[in-house]
Structure 1
């Protein structure tokens, strides 16, 4: 868990799903919390259809039957009917009225400009054109009620600008894209459009931008495709190489505008900044997305160590993020909500893969994610209702104030915490004080597999599990735990197996409805060593092989009952198939019987000697665990032989219950294993003074430094920049 003492938020969690602007009839958005609980994959598409209006003009039509005006470009000249509402001056061909204009040929160094003085739609049919303008936009919509650009069937159309623009007024800064529109713009048709935006953006609309078809090959010095008030894609194939963002909306002045809605299409995006960046909401109903942002994830994700075996901050080996570095390199990002109702996503990013400054809801989709930071991050809430999410690399897998998993198949690998319900923006940190947050992790269904080097399931508040299947291959260092929470962890259904180190061990809370056991071992077990549990009649409860070394394991399943006899085995083999380490019920042989015991409480703690007392002390609130105990706790223990174990015995041996917790302060075994006894005592005294408020954190840090211990103690936040509205 983030051991930071977070400040409790005074505001209730509003806008679990802040809906996508106002509807076309001007009605206010429906209540976001209600929408979040009732939405389904189909309803994400329905929500888009309610919020984005397409007319017949937005779709490709047979322009040959529409009395089109033909314009033929020929180098620096252009041919068109004498009665056409078209002006040609200084290599700028200006269309002055609505209508249909078919354009073909090559324009060596000129511009197609639309300055329509009527209220009719201007439709440009690109029927095999190559337009290059070295000093400005190739196509510039300066004034029009609406412009539709159609890509004619079986044509390739190319537009490009230069690296330097010449403006009539030196104070002007637009147009700033190879294809630039000040008003509503729609692009459609089955043809191909190649855009080289060498000055700034490739395609920009200062109003709404809609795309309903076409093939696009886009290169941009900055952003690939940008719609200020709205960017909506119905269909299309997009290859984008952007020095800034791939897809972007930019209206951060009007709360009802600035959203991105993607219904379908194929997107291959390489962006130096964000792949998709919405200044408001991001709604996705389908499509195929291959996104690389910021050069992709680093080969390894380095973490700083507190000296306690506990990583506390994320630092990429390839690029350390500092406060001065303001470049955002996320995959899919929105300052309001993200809702995903389906699609196929392959995302490789330096920063967060999916990031919302508000809420993130996933209802369906296939996700393959590698990231140098969080895979799924929301400042407010994350809700997973379905889909297949495979996180192969991350700093933290899933992070938000509140996290709810209702369904879906999630597999994640994290160099720090696996699932982290924590406060603040990117709120991962290390602190010796217990958090008083009210954050929650709720697991109601689905399958969750966690491989975490930090905490497995982590809540600066409480965890509740009513269903689903959870496997945790937790940390091997004693500064973290497979389970970590401040409030309570109640289980009323489902199956959970959490294996990992024993230094910060927590089990579920005693008030759980479903029974569970916590087994601690006298020494670390090798990865793959089978855990086999059966009842007194020899019926298998479960057979599980952790993927990593472990010294404790917590098990809770509906098959476990209170006041029932069980036997736990170690090692051996099974010929059955296994899923994420859990073997199908069947043959098991060759194991060593470790302990026979009878469950007497809802949560039963055991070691090789039998039933033992739960650990006490530590950071956690509602559940027993190891850790840095409060002053005066556990002044002595008695082992199974009746001998008293006293503080400072110098042996570093675990307690009789196998918890690895030293009495007299609750310092985990191996926490400062390389320090002599005198130094360990001084460290403990410094910690207790800082916890008790007699010295400041900075004073504690200074005193530890004098002992040669570099131990950052942060009150919150990773050593990465926090997102601000200006960065979105």
Structure 2
């Protein structure tokens, strides 16, 4: 894989900044028609956030290794391609060069473009190509099921590309309970030891009946296409990195839905959502990165999870993120403490960072809403958190403090662990501790005189509310009403403005004052 690093001057700047910063870096290849800086979103990615930040790159992301993928990876010449027609006991190839057929095992041993069409009900396609050059597999209404292992097993290749031919629907499935215990044994329906790229405009339905759906032991990039995955363990896993540049990706997994698991150093093990539409359901984490987890464009929806997004650092620059979690919504943790404390699950600052600088982030979590074992820094975008009802968690929770310098933030939840922005925040905010909980389905409005500044309809009962939004000035008093309604333009169940017709005033608070009774946070 490529391990080209950012220039030393940029790396030094990263170390000095440590928070979101705008700038340019060396350019990596992205989906066709796009230019993407390392770790940044594709310029043409569809998103629901400030387009001005689409080329910005958080300093936390710029030291990650570059993507191997190139814009033209999914392009191919049909005239020079070899066509392999799959059929049980009767598969054929238009050329014997680089192709060996042994019963229902098709082995490809040379770089080139191979168009796969037809059906294998119990067979496999194996790639074992040592020569330099891409092996491009074009799935053209291909269906491959292998009861004894991976449907496509890329044992060796300089680089592998799976192309989903336009207008086609393809199926890959492995068997149940085959042995995956050996080191580097195939453990996914689509498995690759090499860098793997998926592109094209067709569809592939992947079922991982034993372990993962799609897995690469190197880097994995999805440029385009419709990719549907169901897996007994992880849905889509890249070891060094997993990048989604475009397309429509849907995953249902019993463990993590999207994952990168290389723990070697802080340049690998990252997940980047740079574009496309990603929808996942997970038995554990919706998206899990041993390194950085970045969202710089597109739409990411975690419909079900234990923890929604988890990484050593989490950066949301752009795009639209929606998370439902039975535990923490967003969890930034390195799993160790810089202060020699109890580690990732303790109260010490482990150096992790949760950075939100743009886009929309909507979280519904039964545990902590935004949780960092280090710091939380919000400088832009709109962030709406419907947090826990139990006092052992909070809608905002940090070990190193919360800084809000821009954007809109609303965090609702229980009162026992309620935390407010610290003294380093330059955005004005207010915190409300309700004398009695507000029931689910009620609209809470923040009012200055006759102006409704913000409204939020509760997803579950709420005892504490933190709001940072335009119209709030530290030291000024604001009335809090319950029973109104939202304005037309909403993010989640939040709107700027609204109506308090038929609503009742329940509190008056002074902006900039944290409520008593909760744990609070550093800097209070």
Bin of the TM-score, shorter chain as denominator length: 0.7 to 0.9
> Cα RMSD between the aligned structures?
3.2
Q: What TM-score, normalized to structure 1?
A: 0.56
Q: Find 1:245's aligned residue among 183, 188, 192.
A: 188
| Cross-structure match for 1:181 | 108
Alignment-derived partner of residue 121 in structure 2? 196
Aligned partner of 2:57 in structure 1 is none
Match of 2:70 among 49, 59, 68: 49
Quote the Cα distance in structure 1 between the aligned partners of 2:215 and 2:487: 49
Q: How does 1:93-492 map to 2 (within 5 A)?
A: 130=87, 132=89, 147=98, 161=103, 178-184=105-111, 186-188=113-115, 192-198=117-123, 202-207=124-129, 209-212=135-138, 214-221=140-147, 222-227=149-154, 228-229=156-157, 230-236=159-165, 237-243=169-175, 244-250=187-193, 258-264=194-200, 265-272=202-209, 273-294=211-232, 329-357=233-261, 358-424=269-335, 433-492=346-405
User: Is the CA contact (8 Å cut-off) linking 1:160 and 1:197 kept in structure 2?
Assistant: no
Per-residue deviation, 1:124 = 6.0
Deviation at 1:464, TM superposition (A): 0.4
Counterparts of 2:328 and 2:88, CA distance in 1? 52
Assess, with a 3 A threshold, how the Cα gap between structure 1 residues 438 and 577 changes in structure 2: closer, same or farther. closer
Give the match for residue 61 of structure 1. 79
- Contact kept, 8 Å, 2:335 with 2:344, in 1: the verdict is no
Q: 1:397 to 1:53 in 2, by over 3 A?
A: closer
SS of the residue corresponding to residue 214 of structure 1 reads strand
Secondary structure at 2:514 match in 1 = strand
Assess, with a 3 A threshold, how the Cα gap between structure 1 residues 336 and 477 changes in structure 2: closer, same or farther: same
Structure (1 or 2) with the larger CA radius of gyration: 1
Task: Name which of structure 1's ranges 579-588 and 460-469 shifts more when overlaid on structure 2.
Answer: 579-588
- Give the corresponding residue for 1:702: none
Kindly tell me: are residues 604 and 367 of structure 1, through their superposed partners in 2, closer, same or farther at Cα, counting changes over 3 Å?
same
> In structure 2, what is the Cα distance between the partners aligned to 1:224 and 1:421?
35
Measured after TM superposition, the shift of residue 148 of structure 1 is: 6.4
Change (3 A) 1:583 1:195: same
- Between the aligned partners of 1:576 and 1:31, the Cα distance in structure 2 is 44
CA contact (8 A) 1:423 1:439 kept: yes
Unmatched runs of 5 consecutive residues or more in structure 2 = 12-24, 27-36, 46-65, 176-186, 262-268, 337-341
The 1:124–1:360 alpha-carbon spacing in structure 2 relative to 1, beyond 3 Å, is closer
Describe the superposition over 1:643-674 as per-residue Cα deviations: whole angstroms up to 9, x where unpaired. Answer: xxxxxxxxxxxxxxxxxxxxxxxxxxxxxxxx
Sort the Cα spacing of 1:30 and 1:369 in 2 relative to 1 into closer, same or farther, 3 A. same
Deviations 1:334-371 (A, max 9, x none): 11011211010111111111101201111111112111
Cα drift, residue 205 of structure 1: 0.9
Provide the rounded CA distance (Å) in 1 between the counterparts of 2:486 and 2:316: 31
Deviation at residue 579 of structure 1 after TM alignment: 4.1
Task: Report if the CA contact (8 A) 1:186-1:211 is conserved.
Answer: yes
| Structure whose residues are more often helix by fraction | 1
For the residues of structure 2 that align with 1:131 and 1:496, how far apart are their CA atoms?
58
Q: How does 1:530-545 map to 2 (within 5 A)?
A: 530-535=443-448, 537-545=449-457
Whichever structure has more strand as a proportion of its residues is 2
* 2:6 is equivalent to residue 31 of structure 1: yes
Distance, in Å, in 1 between the alignment partners of 2:413 and 2:74 is: 52
State the alpha-carbon separation in 2 of the partners of residues 553 and 367 from structure 1: 30
Q: How many residues align?
A: 443
Is the Cα–Cα contact under 8 Å of residues 384 and 406 in structure 1 kept in the other structure? yes
The whole-number CA distance in structure 2 between the counterparts of 1:248 and 1:42 is 30
TM score, norm. by length of structure 2:
0.77
> Hey, what's the Cα distance between the residues in 2 that align with 1:417 and 1:289?
27
